[in-house]
């Protein structure tokens, strides 16, 4: 009886643990995707809520844990990218992508050399640029527009620089990186 109880407890714990795994990634034609059930898609939000909380707690204890920084940035990216929130002005997406940018920059600055981190960084900057394409003249005053345009231009410059760096490092996908460079302009 006691052996059956222990076995049942182990099965339950392993099932719970397997549901709290980090999202897997896959690079396809130089683009980093999250993999959900074998498909390249946006993972269900509720599936990684506990993982995100755990990563946040871990980062409170160890702010320089590059793996946690990368994984938390990846989760922010997965739920705030164009595929997950196609309307540019979706509430919270710009703020969350900005947080993802801060996390991935810190991971790379702290010494993370994983090529996926560099891919994620370029994609985050590209997504940040996309978030500004929904700006219209009635939404902001002149000062706000000037501030947002400056931010957009700096993100565009960095996104394009990072895509160029990726193209130089990953010759097999150089065309794909060059094709994804940000070419739109900020206007209202």
- Look up the pTM and report it: 0.85
Mean pLDDT of 47-54: 89
In a domain? residue 185: no
- CA atoms 80, 86, 90, 95: torsion sign: positive
Residue 113 lies in a domain: yes
Does 187 fall in a domain? no
| pLDDT tens digits for range 8-30 | 344 444 433 434 467 778 888 88
pLDDT at position 93: 94
CATH label of the domain that carries residue 30: 1.25.40
Structural domain for 99, as ranges: 2-179
pLDDT of residue 37: 60
- The per-residue pLDDT for 21 is 60
In this structure, what is the dihedral angle of CA atoms 116, 121, 126, 131, given to the nearest 10 degrees?
Answer: 120
Share of the chain above pLDDT 70, in %: 85
Q: Residue 100: inside a domain, yes or no?
A: yes
As for how many domains the chain has, the answer is: 1
146 part of a folded domain: yes
The predicted-structure confidence for 64-111, as pLDDT tens digits, reads as follows 999 999 999 999 999 999 988 888 989 999 999 999 999 999 999 999
Nearest to 82 by CA among 15, 188, 160, 182: 182
Q: Looking at the predicted structure, is the pLDDT value of residue 112 above 90?
A: yes
**58 within domain boundaries:** yes
Task: Write down the pLDDT at residue 9.
Answer: 41
Q: What's the CA gap between 186 and 129, in Å, rounded? A: 9
- Whether pLDDT at 180 is above 70: yes
Does any domain span residue 188?
Answer: no
């Amino acid at each position: 009886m006691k052996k059956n109880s222990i076995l049942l407890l182990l099965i339950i714990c392993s099932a719970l643990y397997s549901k709290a795994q980090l999202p897997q990634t896959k690079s396809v034609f130089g683009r980093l995707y999250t993999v959900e059930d074998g498909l390249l898609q946006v993972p269900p939000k509720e599936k990684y809520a506990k993982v995100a909380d755990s990563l946040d707690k871990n980062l409170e204890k160890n702010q320089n844990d590059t793996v946690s920084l990368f994984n938390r940035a990846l989760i922010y990216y997965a739920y705030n990218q164009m595929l997950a929130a196609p309307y540019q002005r979706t509430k919270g997406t710009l703020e969350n992508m900005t947080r993802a940018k801060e996390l991935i920059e810190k991971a790379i600055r702290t010494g993370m050399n994983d090529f996926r981190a560099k891919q994620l960084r370029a994609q985050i900057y590209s997504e940040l640029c996309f978030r500004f394409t929904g700006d219209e003249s009635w939404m902001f005053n002149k000062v706000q527009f000037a501030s947002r345009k400056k931010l957009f231009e700096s993100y565009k410059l960095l996104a394009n620089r990072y895509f160029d760096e990726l193209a130089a490092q990953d010759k097999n996908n150089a065309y794909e990186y060059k094709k994804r460079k940000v070419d739109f302009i900020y206007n209202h």
